[in-house]
Amino acid sequence: MSDRQPYKSDLSDERWALIEPVIASWKAQHPSVSGHQGAYEMREIVNALLYQSRTGCQPTRAWWCSRRGGAPDRDGGGSAPAPSPAGPARRAAL
């Protein structure tokens, strides 16, 4: 498991013990065409999905939210665009 702080939505060891054999079996029956094994542990992927389900974090930002503990700031420090001072109508005209 990763060295991040756990979230309330993370799987317990007992629940992971129930789910892991099912995922491992599915992966064995459906190998990647390219042979790629994946960059993330399956448990972390399941934890990210559970976090998204629990918090309502948008799918395009689920990874960011699960890793950073919330959505990025809107001051340009994160992946979200900074809001336009003139509002949506001004952005559309640009």
For residue 48, tell me if it sits in a domain: yes
pLDDT at residue 71, rounded to an integer: 54
pTM for the model stands at 0.55
What is the Cα gyration radius of the chain?
18
For residue 19, tell me if it sits in a domain: yes
For residue 91, tell me if it sits in a domain: no
Residue pLDDT, tens place only, 74-91: 544 454 555 555 555 554
Domains contained in the chain, number: 1
56 or 14, which is more confident? Answer: 14
Q: Which of 14-18, 53-57, 58-62 has the lowest mean pLDDT?
A: 58-62
| Containing structural domain, residue 50 | 7-29+38-72
For residue 46, tell me if it sits in a domain: yes
